[in-house]
Every structure is written in C-alpha cells, then in structure tokens.
Structure 1
Amino acid sequence: MTQTSADSARNTFRGGATAPYEDPSLPVAERVEDLLGRMTLEEKAGLLFQTIAVMGEDGKLIEDAAKSPMGTPTVRDMVEARRMNHFNLMGGADPTQIAAWHNKVQEIALGTRLGIPVTISTDPRHHFTDNPGTAMLAGGFSQFPETCGLAAIGDEKLVRDFADIMRREYLAVGIRVALHPQIDLATEPRWARINATFGENAELTGRMVAAYIEGAQGGKLGPDSVATMTKHFPGGGPQKDGTDPHFADGREQVYPGDNFAYHLEPFKKALAAGTSQMMPYYGMPVGTDLEEVAFGFNKGVITGLLREELGFDGIVCTDWGLISDAEIFGTAYPARAWGVEHLTEPERVQKVIEAGCDQFGGEACPDLVIALVRDGKVSEERIDVSVRRLLREKFVLGLFENPFVDVEAADAIVGTPESLELGLAAQARSVTLLKNGTDAPVLPLAQGTKVYVEGVDAELAVAYGTVVAAPEDADVAILRTRTPWDPANGPFEAFFHSGSLAFGEAELARILELCGKVPTVVDIYLERPAVIPEIAEASAALVANYGAADGPLLDVLFGRRTPEGRLPFQLPRSMADVEAQRSDVPSDGTDAVYEFGHGLSY
C-alpha cells in the first residue's frame, strides 16, 4: 500500500480531516499530547498490551481464532475490539510474506477510529536457536553465530555491523522493535539461556551491548531505527540451580556471592548507549533487601532502581505471561506471577502498573486495566504516563508517516549475498580452538586428508578431504557434538536445555572409543559450558562453536579460515565443581579445564 492510500484509509474513517497528531512538522511532544487527548480509556488500555501474533500460511491473516496454533485471539480482534496495536510476531516465512502480512495488519489498524499504526516486534531471528519461547530460526534472514559467538570474537565493529544488518532486514519486513539484546551474565553454568548471552564477563558484555544498540538504533532513535528492548533487567543469570523462571521450579534468583551490582554493569552500558526499552525478567530475588516478587512486579527494581537511580524514562515491558494462566503446546502453564501467585489477575495488573512498568508482554486483557481505573484503584493519569511513552516511540520511529513497507523490495534487502557471507565468516571466526595436538599441531588439516565424520554432512566434507566409511581407514576423525542436558518433563520445557553439563556414561564411552581408534577432532556446540575433562584429554584436537554450520567449521579445520574465538565463559571440570559455584559470580570454578578467554589460533 502506498502512503497516499494510507492517508485515504485514515480519511475514510474521519471525514477527510487531518488531526494535529498526524502533522509531522509539529514537535513529537505536541503530537503525543494531541493524540493522547483524543483517546478513550479503552484505547489507552489497549496500548498497554503486547502479545503474540501468528501469521497465516503464505503471509495471510488468520481470521478464525480456533485456527491459531498458539491459541491467541486473531489480530483483527485484538486491534478492533481490544484496541491493541503492539504485537510480537511468532514464526517465520519468506520475507515477502512477512512484509505482506505486516501491511495487512497495518490496514486494519488504519481503519480504527484514530488510525494508530501497529508496532511489530520479534525475538531474535539471526542465529541458530529454535526455541519458540525465546528465538526463531533464521529462515530467509542472515545467519550469524549465537550472541555467545559474537562475544567469543570480541569485535565491536562486527557486532555493530551485525546489528545494522539485522536493522535493515527487520525494517524491510516491518519489524520495528527487537526483543533483544539479551545481556544477562552467564554466571550460573547450568542456566538454559546462556547461548543467547554475551557470556559471563560484565566488561565484555558491556562493550558488546553498546555496539549492538548503536547498530540497531543508530546514534539516535528515528525513522530508520529498530528499537531495542534490552533484557532482562536487572540481570537474569544467577538462577538457583540453573533452573529457568519460565517455570515454577526456577523462579528464584540467588546472590550467594553478594554480587547483585556486577549484573547491573552491562545494563548501565545499555542505558548510556540509549536503549529505547527494557524488559525485566521473570525471576524473583531471594536473600536480598528487595521484595521477593518477580522483577516485573517489583517496584524497588523498576521504579527505585531503573527509573529513579539509573534515570531511565523509556518503555518498560514485562516478560511474557505474568498475569494469566496459559496453554502452551497443549499443556497448561500457570502465569509467571512468582511471589504474587495469591493475587487475582486484576491485582497482578495493578501491582505491575504500580511497579512502574508500561506494557504487559504476552497478555491481551485491556479490560482489566479499564476496570481498575473505573473502580478508582489506578488513576487514568498514571495510565497516561505509560501511554505517552508508547506513543512517543511510534512517532519517533516514523510509523505515522510510513506505516507500510515495500513488499517487492523485501527479498532484495533480506539475506543479501554480502550479509550472508558476513554471517558465514562470523560463524568461522567464532570457532574456538581449545586444544591442537599434544606434541605437534593437528590442525589445520591438509586438503585431501582421509577423514571419518560423525555429525557432519559427508557430501559437504568431500570438498575438503577424502571421506572414508570407517574410523580404521581414516587419518583423522571429525566428530560434532553438543553440551549435554537432562530430559524435560513437558513439550515447552524441552526447548530449555538444562540440568547436567556432563556427558552420560554411554555417550562419553562412545566418544572416547573413537578417540582411541583414530586421532579425533572433537567439535562441541557450547550452548552452555560443558564438562569435558576426559574428552579434552583424549581428543587429538578440540574446538568449540556457538552456532556454526558444517561449511564454516570445515573451513576452519582445513585452514581456509582462521579461528579467532576465545571462551566467553569458564569450562568446569566436574558437576561437583559446578554445584559448588556461587551462581552470581563469574569464573567461580576452582579447577577449570579451560578458563574464560582461552583460545588458540594457527
């Protein structure tokens, strides 16, 4: 749809009149106040909610809620009946299909009384992870290593370039808010979400996040920016026993090293870089001076620390699903109302608002806010404070002037040869060489070396070496594996790899048997720190990756590219050592196999 037809859509519903808030020549503050003064309580309440929107097949709108795979209301219902206009796009598709879907959603929004354009957000889409609760497969977007891999490289320019590519590709399909970066510190080795962090070190993470925000937002938030929702304030890493607060048994965050302040350091760098939004985590602090309620309900954290002490006046959006119970993949899950489970849904909403948050993630119940205001429990003036912040960002991003994207241009912008190549090069650069022979280097391998491969595409490997069918016939074996995890109890939990970091007896014996038959290069995908003392000893060479396809890895093993990675976290020697570590302290192991920052090269 063109801008002319966008104006026409507005005018159709308002008799051709142009309101001051639509005048781009006016200061943003004036436009915000003009639009705010025209809004009903129902329209204000709708603005405070952002939940999942699912795209139909081939970019179509889903018009029947019964056909939504996530069980959410239709976008039309949320926009027209609930007055909502912020949505987190779930799932992937061809870029042109996402762009076309986005424009259809904007058409619905422009047909409402005030024509407030929709803001689309997304979890990360430019990596390898496919956890529908935290990230999406790259699909047609450029694919880089996980953020741990960017930290392993440690190159701020690369991170800035990565975020700039992400920005351009998001803009092409209509995504204006990144529900990332995730800058929790990976001080608890067992935590399931380490792969999406920049590792355990606050100084490194701070440098990375500043570059990330600059690449996504530019020097100043504007029409060419993607707003960053930095998470999870005030740091979600120190989870008790490494469990995750998506689930009730992981609700507690603990600070046995009295190291709460260390986890704040990256967020200070994000604030200095101008992040537009913040997301508090589900966890509830235990054993501190703070109220023992989840951070999204925690006034001492949101208002006291973030707003007043650190001076943040941007948007604070809760993590998803704090208010209402939900069904995920056919299983019932309680609201993540940790510490306030006894409160009713309206009472939870009131506590979030009083804490200082502006928006409810993963919820579609504006009626609860409306009732609280009409019952005198929350003032409309307090609602206006949050509405101003949300409207201000829509104006600054230029959504009122340019609500639509060019569908035909999306394919040419998303996944260009240059950006795809940069992603592949970053995957290779992030590979971390932990060990390279005992007496003499094993790597790089010579072209044509006879290799036996496991976990590697043999058809791809023939372009590098002579692939043989049995270890006994090989000069070298190449084995790809990954950090172990314990089986999960439910379908959603299965996406969160947690539990033991040590290989089971049978799998460890199998790996060591191969190492005993032939010199073996072992590659481990470190989505969490793995316990690998025996593998480190028995392997001929040992490398780690943080999301790398076979091609970039083989490029490194055969010397076509150089490994540059350095460990973004310590690799512990035993699970006993892991269990003895303080969850909030980095590099707290007493006898690590490899320390933070370790990495060899050619």
Structure 2
Amino acid sequence: MPLKSRTRRAVIALSALVVGAATLTTTGSAVSPRPQTADELLREMSLEEKVGQLFVTYAYGRTANTADPANREEFGVDTPAEVVRKYHLGGIVHFSWTNSLYGPEQIARLSNGMQDAAINSGGRVPLLISTDQEQGKITRIGEPATQFPGNMALGATRSPEDARRAAEITGRELRAMGLNMNFAPDGDVNVNPQNPVIGVRSFSSDPALAAELTAAQVRGYQGAGEDGVSGSVKHFPGHGDTATDSHTGLPVIEHDRQQWERLDKPPFAAAIEAGTDSVMSAHIVVPKLDDSGNPATLSRTVLGGMLRAELGYRGVVVTDSLQMQGVREQHPDGEIPVLALQAGADMLLMPQNLQVAIDGVLAAVRDGRLTEQRIDESVRRILELKQKRGVLADPFTDVSQVGSKVGSPEHRAIAEEITDRSTTVLRNENVLPLEDPAEVLVTGAGEDATAALAEDIGARGPRSTALPTGEQPTPQQIDRAVAQAADNDVTVVLTNAAWDSDNAAQLDLVNRLKQAGKPVVAVAVRDPYDAGHVDAPAWVATYSDKAVAMESLTKVLFGETSPTGKLPVAVPDADRPGSEKYPFGFGLTW
C-alpha cells in the first residue's frame, strides 16, 4: 500500500517499523529500531509485556483517543489507546456495544489509532484486532460491509466454493478496515435442534458436510495472504449438542469418545489440516472425555491432550470470552487465566477484570505455578501468528481505499448469488410461485426483515404492507395481523426460533393466519426447525433475516429463481417425537 495515501498519523507510526532506520514516536521522541521477528521481539520484552501479549479485550470509543467514562470505570484510564498502553495488550476485539463499530472508514481509523498506540508502547508490538464476523446471526459489522446469510445457509448450498468465497470476501473487507483476525468459522456440528446458542451458526448436523465447509472457510479467510485475516475455528471440542447457553450457564455434553470422534471431531480436524491460525475453546464440560469437572477451556485433557497431542495442533489456542458464566462458575477470576494457560491456551479473551487477570498470571509465575518458559511458549505462538499475517511488518490499513474495498458492487453481487442458492422450500401446496397478487401482507418476527421483504415484494408490483409482530406476539398483535390478512391476497409470515417455548406465540400466529382464508407462506428466518411445529400451505427456510436473504426469498416467491437449497439438518416432527418431518437433504424445486 502506498505511503502517500495513509493518514499522517499512520505514516509517522509506520516509520517505527523500518529496520535500521532512525525512528520517531508520534510525540517526536527518538526510539531504537523495532525488532521485526517473533524471536527478536520476545527477547526484548519484560515479563509484564509478555503477559500483556496474552490478553485480548475491548475498549470503549469511536477513536483511539476518545475518552469514555466506561474505560475509566473498567480499566482505570480514559481512552482506548491508554488501555492498550497500560496493559501492553496483545489484541483488541471490536463490538458495537463498545461504541467501536459505526462505519468502515471510522473502523479503519480506529484500528490505525490502536496500532499506533501499541507500537509506541512498551513492547512496541502491533495488535491482533478482531471481531466475530461469522455472518448471519452473528454479524458485528453491518451495512455497507457485504452481508452473507451465515453458515447454515451455506450448508444448504452444499458448496465448498461458496463457503470459501464468502469467507474470502469477509476477510478482505475486515482487513481493509484494519482488522486482522476473525473469530470464525463456527465448526460446531448442530446435532441438537434445541441448541440455544449454536443453531444456524453451524453449517450442518452432518459432520462430513460441516468439516468440508469449515475447511473451505478457513482457506477463504486466510488464503488471501496479507489481504486476509486469521481464522479461528470454534468451539473446541464441540458445542453442537447442548441445550444450555454457555454465556449464562455451564453446559454438560454427554458424548463419549466414540461419539466425539464421529460427531464433533471432523470439522476441527479438517480446519487444522487446512491450516487454521487459531482454535477457540468451549466453556463446556464433557465428563466422558475428562472427569476433572473443569470446562474444556481449563482442561489439560482437552486442550493439551486432545487438541495438542492427538490432533497435532501447533497454532494459537484462544479461549472463548472469560466473562461467560460457563467458565466462571467454579473458579475466581484471578485463577481462571492461570488454569487456562496450564491447560494449553495461549490467548485469553475478555477477562471479567483485566487487572485481576493479569495480576493472577504474574503471581502464578512468581510462585512457580507457571514458568516464564511457559509464558514464552504462548507469546511466541502469538507473535509468530502476527508475523505470518504481516501484522508485524505493517499493521496499518489505507483509509483512502476502504470505500472501494468494503461492500463493493462485485462483493455484493457474489453475496446475492450465493444466497440465491441457499433458499430452501420445504412445503408447497400449490401456493408458490405466487401468481400476480395485488396485495401482500408481510408479518411476523423481525422489524427490519419484514420491512426489507415488503420493500422487495413491492418492487415487483404488488402493494405490500409490513406488520411486524416480534418473536413473542401478543394476542392483540395476532388479532390485528389476522384482520389485515383477510384484506390481502396472500400473507407471508416470518418465524424466528418459534420452536423455542418462549416464542410459542409465533406458532399461534401461523395457525390463526391459516384460518383467515387466504394463502399463507411461512418462512423460517433462523432455524428451519420451526417447520416441524406447525403446518402451513407453504414453508420456506432462509436461515437468515438479513436483507440479502429477503431478496433471495422474494425471487423464489415470484418464480424468478428456482429454489435449490437442501436442508443441512433434519427437521424433527414436534407431534411425533423421534421422527422427522423433513429429512436431511430435503428441498423442493420447480
């Protein structure tokens, strides 16, 4: 990237990266040339600087120098740059709730500012800047960044090439915004339809399909070299068969060794073979694999044994967020990072109290529970990852190029093509394609989704009305929707996790709309399992409520495209436990 196109702040900071040259900090003070290799950096770092490299956390603010009271309350300093410098952080993770994600150019400037702070602090080591851009349900950066429908939709396409291209585009756009690591793909095999935390984040309930697409996405994220990002397959050893959310509790998975080998292992083994830069651990207990009672994140058997020794993984192991209840139920916050390092983790993500966590690791080194050599092992892996991805050589991004690289017409066109191949029709009683309806009601879950779909339908000629009722519609909202349905030629009703007992009123909405006497098209915009709980004249699965998925749905509704998606999971029949309403691989077309 040409220097003339960088911001002045980034140019000055970049001068500190030139080996052998006279260098200046952004304040104008002279510094010695910064080491360029992982080993050189490691030799010059203090213990405190090494320990800082192990930690990844967030900071509040739109720019590196934005003062936010939340930083003062949580970290004892005012700005994101000061958080990086104070703790010698190895990485920063961006979220919208930290006021960090407002637009591509803003994100790029924030990233450059954070890198500037890092290379002008004690260890002078650039940051891993990350987020969770899985796409679909877990999307941290919205429009104008290119949007994809997510993993389960990719599973419905059955196309490794689609999975690879989606990841490559996402990775290139993240890198253009200054991010160099993405906590994706999700390699969990969703064998439990009642899984509250994975669901559509999984490619499939079939281990072979999940493995194939997981590997394809790793190659997509990382295959663009220094224009790509590090991938991080998650959540090892497999979070697909749980009915407990590890954000709020400690899930227990009863898979024995044979089941793990058959169901959970394949995507992680495939990701490792594909060269994944990192693996994220799960806060789950698997007692038949490790009887210690510790979650996998803190288990030497799982991380040191199964992942390192058996699968031969030599890259970076990153923990899931250490603020999650699944890892905090059994141990104090200062002890959790120590146990994670002892188990075999390298990067420690988002501790509940960063100072307490760092102090805990330093104390463990001083009292001998951790050796400095053990710290060096993890820091070396982290530095080698940064070196491999070109972060040590040039951590900055060219802000002037962001607008042309993020959300480009080419990227958006590819996203639409891929999404078109994912739409899956499960039931059709001579309803689809729609035959020139004059008036269409769009109702159900999702204010944005119903609005986007109504707009897309209206662009085809009919008068369309959006009437969102939410995920838990009230009797009054249902009555209003039914009344309006009677005045329209057809109703399209969106459901979102209607299988969940908390959302059962959505099923009432579908049933009541069926009784209104007009054709009804039900659309599962999250898990396709909704279709097993209530019949409708037509059922469609989009696996996503993103605008791009609503456009692809509209094409199917009006016969502009033929549906080609195939179920990547089986849909159970809620009325007949143990049986399937729609089997794996099912999908109608015309």
TM-score band, normalised by the shorter chain?
0.7 to 0.9
Alpha-carbon distance, 1:185 to partner: 0.9
Which residue does 1:279 correspond to in 2? 280
Are the counterparts in 2 of residues 55 and 89 from structure 1 also a CA contact under 8 Å? no
Question: How big is each residue's C-alpha offset from its partner over 1:5-36, in whole Å with a ceiling of 9 and x where there is no partner?
Answer: 234456225845435x33xxxxxxxx222221
Secondary structure of the residue aligned to 1:53 is coil
Which residue does 1:160 correspond to in 2? 164
1:483 aligns with 2:497: yes
Where in structure 2 are the equivalents of 1:104-253 lying within 5 Å? 104-124=113-133, 126-127=135-136, 129=137, 135-192=139-196, 193-218=198-223, 222-239=225-242, 242-248=243-249, 250-253=250-253
Tell me: CA distance 1:255–1:502, structure 2 relative to 1, closer, same or farther (3 Å).
farther
Are the counterparts in 1 of residues 532 and 582 from structure 2 also a CA contact under 8 Å? no
Alpha-carbon distance, 1:286 to partner: 2.8
Secondary structure of the residue aligned to 2:501 is coil
Which residue does 1:543 correspond to in 2? 540
Alpha-carbon distance, 1:177 to partner: 0.6
Tell me: CA distance 1:119–1:534, structure 2 relative to 1, closer, same or farther (3 Å).
closer
Tell me: CA distance 1:64–1:543, structure 2 relative to 1, closer, same or farther (3 Å).
closer
Tell me: CA distance 1:137–1:68, structure 2 relative to 1, closer, same or farther (3 Å).
farther
Are the counterparts in 2 of residues 501 and 529 from structure 1 also a CA contact under 8 Å? no
- How far apart in 2 are the matches of 1:106 and 1:509? 52
Which residue does 2:327 correspond to in 1? 336
Give the counterpart of 2:24 among 6, 9, 12: 12
Unaligned residue ranges in structure 1 (runs of 5+): 23-30, 323-332, 486-498, 578-589
Alpha-carbon distance, 1:385 to partner: 0.6
Secondary structure of the residue aligned to 1:150 is helix
Larger mean CA deviation between 555-564 and 417-426 belongs to: 417-426
Alpha-carbon distance, 1:191 to partner: 1.1
Where in structure 2 are the equivalents of 1:61-72 lying within 5 Å? 61-66=65-70
- How far apart in 2 are the matches of 1:65 and 1:212? 38
Which residue does 2:447 correspond to in 1? none
Secondary structure of the residue aligned to 2:369 is coil
Which residue does 1:43 correspond to in 2? 49
How many residues align structurally? 535
Are the counterparts in 1 of residues 256 and 289 from structure 2 also a CA contact under 8 Å? no
Which residue does 1:25 correspond to in 2? none
- How far apart in 1 are the matches of 2:303 and 2:394? 33
Alpha-carbon distance, 1:213 to partner: 0.9
- How far apart in 1 are the matches of 2:501 and 2:245? 14
1:411 aligns with 2:403: yes
Secondary structure of the residue aligned to 2:12 is helix
1:347 aligns with 2:335: yes
Question: How big is each residue's C-alpha offset from its partner over 1:52-109, in whole Å with a ceiling of 9 and x where there is no partner?
Answer: 23332xx463334436898896433332221113011111211000001111111111
Which residue does 1:591 correspond to in 2? 579
Secondary structure of the residue aligned to 1:593 is strand
Alpha-carbon distance, 1:480 to partner: 2.1
Which residue does 1:553 correspond to in 2? 553
Alpha-carbon distance, 1:552 to partner: 2.3
Question: How big is each residue's C-alpha offset from its partner over 1:512-550, in whole Å with a ceiling of 9 and x where there is no partner?
Answer: 232231122221223362263532xxx222111111433
Question: How big is each residue's C-alpha offset from its partner over 1:137-156, in whole Å with a ceiling of 9 and x where there is no partner?
Answer: 52321111121111111111
Letter in 2 for 1:233: F
Question: How big is each residue's C-alpha offset from its partner over 1:403-456, in whole Å with a ceiling of 9 and x where there is no partner?
Answer: 21111111111001121222233333211100121xxx4321234555343344
- How far apart in 2 are the matches of 1:509 and 1:252? 32
Which residue does 1:454 correspond to in 2? 443
Which residue does 1:370 correspond to in 2? 362
- How far apart in 2 are the matches of 1:205 and 1:168? 23
Letter in 2 for 1:562: S
Which residue does 1:357 correspond to in 2? 345
Larger mean CA deviation between 105-114 and 172-181 belongs to: 105-114
Which residue does 1:515 correspond to in 2? 514
Tell me: CA distance 1:306–1:468, structure 2 relative to 1, closer, same or farther (3 Å).
closer
Are the counterparts in 2 of residues 502 and 574 from structure 1 also a CA contact under 8 Å? no
Secondary structure of the residue aligned to 1:138 is coil
- How far apart in 2 are the matches of 1:559 and 1:47? 54
Secondary structure of the residue aligned to 2:504 is coil
- How far apart in 2 are the matches of 1:234 and 1:591? 28
Are the counterparts in 2 of residues 503 and 531 from structure 1 also a CA contact under 8 Å? no
Are the counterparts in 2 of residues 501 and 530 from structure 1 also a CA contact under 8 Å? no
Letter in 2 for 1:186: N
Letter in 2 for 1:177: M
Tell me: CA distance 1:528–1:512, structure 2 relative to 1, closer, same or farther (3 Å).
closer
Are the counterparts in 1 of residues 283 and 326 from structure 2 also a CA contact under 8 Å? no
Give the counterpart of 2:460 among 460, 464, 469: 464
Larger mean CA deviation between 168-177 and 547-556 belongs to: 547-556
- How far apart in 2 are the matches of 1:68 and 1:566? 51
Secondary structure of the residue aligned to 1:253 is coil
Tell me: CA distance 1:16–1:319, structure 2 relative to 1, closer, same or farther (3 Å).
closer
Which residue does 2:574 correspond to in 1? 574
Tell me: CA distance 1:345–1:541, structure 2 relative to 1, closer, same or farther (3 Å).
closer
1:259 aligns with 2:253: no
- How far apart in 2 are the matches of 1:265 and 1:35? 36
**Aligned sequence identity (%):** 30
Unaligned residue ranges in structure 2 (runs of 5+): 1-6, 18-22, 445-449, 466-483
Alpha-carbon distance, 1:41 to partner: 0.3
Give the counterpart of 2:421 among 410, 419, 429: 429
Which residue does 2:386 correspond to in 1? 394
Are the counterparts in 2 of residues 125 and 141 from structure 1 also a CA contact under 8 Å? no
Alpha-carbon distance, 1:275 to partner: 0.4
Tell me: CA distance 1:70–1:503, structure 2 relative to 1, closer, same or farther (3 Å).
farther
- How far apart in 1 are the matches of 2:531 and 2:253? 23
Where in structure 2 are the equivalents of 1:300-315 lying within 5 Å? 300-315=301-316
Tell me: CA distance 1:62–1:468, structure 2 relative to 1, closer, same or farther (3 Å).
closer
Tell me: CA distance 1:155–1:7, structure 2 relative to 1, closer, same or farther (3 Å).
closer
Tell me: CA distance 1:196–1:17, structure 2 relative to 1, closer, same or farther (3 Å).
same
Alpha-carbon distance, 1:381 to partner: 0.7
- How far apart in 2 are the matches of 1:533 and 1:334? 31
Secondary structure of the residue aligned to 1:80 is helix
Secondary structure of the residue aligned to 1:284 is coil
